[in-house]
Chains A and B, each alone.
Chain A
């Protein structure tokens, strides 16, 4: 008995081959996921330009900006496959930086496959040179670029002599932050036509001698979470113009709509689980088969995606396809490797034998061992730490990755269910029934469709064994401590199961609030009024009844200052602080502007992340501080320092200062 090993191709540490423009991965078993919003459309516009019968139109440039695993090379491969170009130069088995093609209409297409691969001559500013070269040759250009390259290639326009190099350097600056630094000042120049506020698509044109010589589509590939719903963009109307855009969506986990919308990754997971399940001919009690069966259900996959979305938000990260495929594989077979697959199969077979044995201890050991291999347990435990050879726990190879770290942080055991609901009380009550001969899981199955979709024969068998072992009326022979440990394990089992199918990561209420805040920021650029106050209270606390925050500025740290200490402090009235919020892809950036400021740019900027929001919510709800305070403090202190510097600069002579020591306190 064994499990299909192809699932390891895209697991953590898997050897799945990266796609390149001249090599498209065969993905029969791995479903094809959707490309990031607007990316397919931008590539389609380029394909149309490449297929044009003449070479009169402007060159098309498509820039796909994002990290590895977001599908840039897959799109590039699709473009290359569709344009019928003849590749210039010799081929190589290794991925190359650039591929050049002659198109049937006589024009050239340059595909920058991976900007992190250095050019043959190892010269710096390679991206700028590639773009300038394409501009010079009026070539179509498709660039797959990550931000690290863009940060490293920022250069001053004034130091460049060549016109195409100047425009290329403007383009590199535009790609990094979407801002144009030299609009229309001289020609040739880059003109921004459409800037999608808070979105992931921008369009610009290069103009020379009054004529448009190139049209540019910029798509940020990782701005939209794969764990949110992606609406279909409207149809393209004109190939050389800005594409009709679609707004990115966020559906709060705690909202009723969440259960009704499919996320972009959901069909990938269900189809993968189905493809995997098809190849399994195993015992119905096999946990790996049970995982495939559970995750192939839409409602379960929806819960799984919500939980992963929570992990994304809690850790402030972005899960690309690469990470989500690995997490999917992890949910099906754990952090297995080719070495451990056969050992895993043996472990399952032995555990299945154990649950058939007569001794209750054996049966319990078997049930726990099998239960630990269910998706909802493996996600948070398997490979997280060395197991030390405990009998009931499979000895997984230790597996670490940022994605796993994020998922562990979202373990629902840390903080279960919405703060307003009765989720944990219901489960506690159901679990209490175990002692009275009841079956809490089976009971939940009848009441909760999602639990019912996940629940299988293995779960029912595990519950029977657990019930039997801890039933005080039955002489199981288990010591009190063993029963207590078993009950504790089953509690973890049920809590995580319910959380997974309902899509509740830890702190689901904070995650929901963050998503609501994203929506507020996206639609109005502001936060909810009470949240705004709570954040300002953290950044610029005022004493009771006062409306003015005081900050030291001659000390190593900018603080409120201790009372009675000989200090000078600058005053910033709370209502002089204007807090706004801006969406940048899947981030919410908070910006503080002071009334006294003459400049447009914010005096202090920070991201609204889980810790800052949690701390603000704790303040709002009157809970005082949380342990997030320690984490945000260095950042908050720098915000204050930046605000104080701005106030000193812009307030000028109008600034007020407070002087205090033990016996003296005066503000002037």
Chain B
């Protein structure tokens, strides 16, 4: 069995071009876990909802029912029988409207579209292969599950999501719409839907890493807390399902990007710490502290000073190179640097690893140059995929004229800066409350932001919260503000 050389065991990422794929992949991960199925049929390229281009469509299965198809007619019949349409012509119009509404926004360059993953059935209307067109895309769901476990998550990301969307109280979606969308799923997927429904709420992935030395304010701990809150505490009943789904995507994409930023940051700093004399404990404390301020956010800062583009580039390029260097050191035969996993059970595990690694590397010929080269590396190995994952998960990406309300970064010209979409801040701050209708404090929000690497100016936060109508009477809470949840 190959040695586990990785810091956290995360696989190298690939950015999913559609936000809908986060939930879709979670649904598919349940099915894959149960059935371990390899391939549907020879030449099968994946599921997609809509066909947007005649180019390169061989092998894809499009799940949006075509006008005039049997599925379309079945949907019409169901509407007429359910008294939601008076006659067949009206039913056809209604079916078209609902199928149109189900289609998620897509970019002008997209070849295939996705459905909004409002339920288990609609999440399964596409998969990662179908939308990306790649044969073996990186396992998005597994990376999310690993990050959730790193953050101390008790169940699984997929379990939380499936439980929430199967909420017996309806969860922000009319029953007949839920039934209608359930009917959109192709007939040959019924078994898959049943599998996900049956096994989703209890879905667990065993033996994921949970190093004891990870502090409680990392992107992973934020993700686990926010996800559990979103899925378990009744939010799904307090807002339309579409909004809840957008919140879920927002949490997932933010976690994915900031989780890799954190990993890259640690690799860089650990690599640098291998050749310094600084006390190992101090070095680890310092890198953890600095992980809380990878990005600065101050609306009054000049764009040139607020530019985070170079930070992401450096984290991805040099972080990837440092990762490769450390992996090589761990993989070496003979007296190798110990694997991180060996220290998972220690409260000061990372410090111990650093001490042990320094001993091995001491006196190693040309090692300082190797570290120097890794620290200054440009676009090495997997760096580009990591860079894309971080940048595009966080960047506002308008599609089809629709504003991206859930992005963290904006970009214009050569600059990229922190300027969250309105609903991003609403989502992040609301999930700091104990549940819907509960207050939180400014200190809770700043801690959450620090966990995901954002050092936000208080005046910026106050001004944003006030403009979104979330700030309440300003001088009585810690850090001078009570924050109302979005719902």
Contacts and interface: CB of A to CB of B under 8 A. Distances in A.
Given A66-B476, A148-B476, A649 B237 contact: yes
A356 interface: no
B478 A556 contact: no
B476 A222 contact: yes
B472 A607 contact: yes
Nearest to A553: B240
B135 interface: no
Interface string A175-204: 010000000000000000000000000000
Contact of A556 (B238, B241, B243, B437): B243
Contacts of B242: 553-556
Contact of B477 (A151, A567, A601, A649): A151
B174 A567 contact: no
A447 interface: no
B102 interface: yes
A540 interface: no
Interface in B140-196: 169-170, 172-177
A146 B237 contact: no
A635 interface: yes
Contact of A568 (B83, B97, B172, B437): B97
Contact of A638 (B97, B469, B480): B469
Contacts of A554: 101-102, 116, 118, 177, 240, 242
B237 A645 contact: yes
Given A634-B422, A648-B170, A659-B94, A642 B474 contact: no
Contacts of B439: 147, 151, 176
A656 B83 CA distance: 11
Contacts of B437: 601, 605
Contacts of A510: none
Nearest to B434: A154
A508 interface: no
Contacts of B175: 652-653
A331 interface: no
B482 interface: yes
Contacts of B85: 666, 668
A631 interface: yes
14 contacts: A148-B478, A151-B482, A402-B480, A555-B101, A555-B242, A566-B96, A606-B469, A634-B422, A641-B243, A645-B238, A659-B94, A661-B96, A666-B94, A668-B84
Interface residues of A, number: 56
Given A587-B473, A642-B238, A657-B84, A566 B97 contact: yes
A393 to B, nearest CB: 24
Given A146-B477, A222-B476, A659 B97 contact: yes
A66 B344 CA distance: 45
Interface in B440-487: 440-441, 443-444, 467-469, 472-480, 482, 486-487
Interface of A: 66-69, 116, 146-149, 151-152, 154, 176, 222, 316-318, 320, 323, 402, 553-558, 566-568, 570, 587, 601, 605-607, 631-632, 634-635, 638, 641-642, 644-645, 648-649, 652-653, 655, 657, 659-661, 664, 666, 668
Given A635-B469, A648-B174, A661-B93, A641 B475 contact: no
Interface of B: 83-86, 90, 93-94, 96-98, 100-102, 116, 118, 169-170, 172-177, 237-243, 246, 402, 405, 422-423, 426, 434, 437-441, 443-444, 467-469, 472-480, 482, 486-487
Given A147-B482, A649-B237, A402 B97 contact: no
Contacts of A323: 475
A536 to B, nearest CB: 18
Residue of A567, A635, A641, A653 most packed against chain B (CB within 10 A): A641
A655 B239 CA distance: 16
A645 B239 contact: yes
B298 to A, nearest CB: 15
Contacts of B246: 556
A644 B240 contact: yes
Contacts of A146: 476-478
Contacts of B443: 148, 152
A69 B473 CA distance: 15
Given A566-B101, A648-B174, A660-B97, A666 B475 contact: no
Nearest to B79: A668
A568 B101 contact: yes
Nearest to B240: A553
A645 B434 contact: no
A648 B170 CA distance: 8
A407 B476 CA distance: 19
Contacts of A607: 472
Given A147-B439, A151-B441, A554-B102, 16 more contacts: A222-B475, A402-B480, A553-B172, A556-B423, A566-B96, A566-B97, A568-B97, A568-B101, A641-B487, A642-B487, A644-B240, A645-B238, A648-B174, A652-B175, A661-B96, A668-B84
Contact of B476 (A147, A606, A631, A642): A147
B284 to A, nearest CB: 21
A555 B243 CA distance: 8
